[in-house]
Amino acid sequence: MISCQSAYATQWVKLGEAEISWGYKTPYRINLMAPKGIHDLQDIRSGTQMVQFEIEWLAPSTSQAEIQKHFKALIEGQLEGPESIKFNQTIINRFLNKLPQADRFDRWQLTYSPDAGTQVQIEGEKVHTLIGSEINRALHHAWMYRDPVTTSKLLTRLLKLGK
């Protein structure tokens, strides 16, 4: 398993991309990346392999409040219920407070490691590490299993190869 510390030196291969819509607005495109030479479909789907979600912001400007609301809904929508949300609220709030506004062409990388958490980089600068297996799984599943179309678009390269 590759550690998050070596994630910076890792050569990433793009597996697929999907545009994420908020109703009538498409604020960002998400690219799913895997370490070069290490991409097993089942491991990626189950969250047992390191992957990177790269966000390319498309909207001219997305406010910090909109971003925080979106990420809060992403994570909380994947947690098991009110008790799980309440238990993880401090971790969620710390993460949300690190997220700034985004402008068109900004790039964020969220490097997910099942063992080390999710490292958040904005424009190449590390801003936060999301620790906690339940929270990390929730964020991974929020994109990976958003809907069947998004899942297939994110995994396009692997699905074509039949891996």
pLDDT in tens, 65-104: 999 999 999 999 999 999 999 999 999 999 999 999 999 9
Q: Tell me the mean pLDDT in the region 116-132.
A: 94
CB-based contact 57:104 (threshold 8 Å)? yes
Residue 126 has pLDDT above 60, yes or no: yes
For residue 8, name the pLDDT band (cuts at 50, 70, 90): low
Q: Tell me the mean pLDDT in the region 25-33.
A: 96
CB-based contact 102:120 (threshold 8 Å)? no
Q: What is the pLDDT of residue 162?
A: 61
Q: Tell me the mean pLDDT in the region 117-124.
A: 94
For residue 9, name the pLDDT band (cuts at 50, 70, 90): low
DSSP state of 2: -
Residue 149 has pLDDT above 50, yes or no: yes
69: which 2 tokens? 């609301």
Comparing C-alpha atoms, which of 99, 161, 89 is closest to residue 128? 99
**pTM for the full predicted model:** 0.88
In sign, the C-alpha dihedral spanning 133, 52, 149, 66 is: positive
Mean pLDDT over each residue of the chain, to the nearest integer: 90
Residue 132 has pLDDT above 70, yes or no: yes
Residue 3 has pLDDT above 80, yes or no: no
